[in-house]
């Protein structure tokens, strides 16, 4: 079974959805670590409750991204982490982690990328007045939500939708889509020709 780390910065509802999928047997992975860049994030409480080890850090305690990612890489290797799932981790991944985990880092974003990348994608969609947005799961590269798209699901924006109602609809989709995509990615068999 592949050992994954989940990176989060806030509430951690997508972390929880992965945990539930592992517990009910639909996601055959081991969640070996929760990484969090905000020591007060609710995601850490969830991990403690679920018995998932955590590593949390404050970027301001380091001289920069290279220094904290070098420390992070050592921790990930110590825990035997093979794959990284970003779930509401609100930082760009730098070259230290990208090179060590090439093609093995995915992210979920609350829009139909390439529309509305970056922060507050839900607010951006509402401000633009579009009648449809959605959820994207993609590989992570050095850009802001620019990596290769793996899966997308559209969601209608209805008259009267607010950022709260839209976030609720988006997260309901995320909590089903993300574990399913991670399962598919990690169970795809690599064929070897002998």
Please report, as ranges, the residues that interact with ligand GAR according to CB under 6 A: 8, 10-14, 87-88, 108-110, 121, 145, 170-171, 174
Q: Residue 91 or residue 184: which is nearer to ligand GAR going by CB? A: 91
3-state secondary structure (DSSP) of residue 87: coil
Q: How far is the CB of 165 from ligand GAR (least distance, A)?
A: 14
Q: Residue 77 or residue 148: which is nearer to ligand GAR going by CB? A: 148
Q: How far is the CB of 190 from ligand GAR (least distance, A)?
A: 29
CB 41 within 8 A of CB 10: yes
Q: How far is the CB of 8 from ligand GAR (least distance, A)?
A: 5
Q: How far is the CB of 117 from ligand GAR (least distance, A)?
A: 7
Report residue 161 as tokens: 């939708």
Q: Residue 29 or residue 44: which is nearer to ligand GAR going by CB? A: 44
Q: Which of 56, 109, 138, 175 is catalytic?
A: 109
Q: Which residues are CB-contacts of 147 (< 8 A; sequence separation ≥ 6)?
A: 107, 138, 139, 140, 141
109 catalytically annotated: yes
Residue closest to ligand GAR when measured from CB atoms:
88
Q: Residue 54 or residue 70: which is nearer to ligand GAR going by CB? A: 54
- CA dist 131 and 194 (Å) reads 52
CB 166 within 8 A of CB 146: no
Radius of gyration of the chain (CA): 17
H/E run at residue 128: helix 121-128
* Active site positions, annotated: 109
């Amino acid at each position: 079974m592949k050992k994954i780390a989940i990176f989060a910065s806030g509430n951690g509802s997508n972390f929880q959805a992965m945990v539930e999928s592992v517990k009910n047997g639909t996601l055959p992975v081991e969640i070996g670590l929760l990484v969090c860049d905000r020591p007060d994030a609710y995601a850490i409480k969830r991990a403690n409750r679920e018995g998932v080890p955590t590593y949390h850090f404050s970027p301001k305690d380091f001289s920069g991204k290279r220094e904290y990612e070098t420390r992070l890489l050592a921790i990930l290797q110590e825990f035997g982490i093979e794959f990284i799932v970003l779930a509401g981790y609100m930082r760009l991944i730098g070259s230290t982690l990208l090179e060590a985990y090439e093609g093995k880092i995915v992210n979920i974003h609350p829009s139909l990328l390439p529309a509305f990348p970056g922060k507050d994608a839900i607010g951006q969609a509402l401000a633009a007045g579009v009648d449809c947005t959605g959820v994207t799961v993609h590989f992570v590269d050095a850009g802001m939500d620019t990596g290769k798209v793996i899966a997308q699901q559209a969601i209608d924006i209805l008259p009267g939708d607010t950022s709260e109602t839209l976030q609720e609809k988006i997260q309901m989709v995320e909590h089903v889509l993300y574990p399913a995509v991670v399962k598919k990615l990690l169970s795809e068999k690599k064929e070897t020709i002998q």
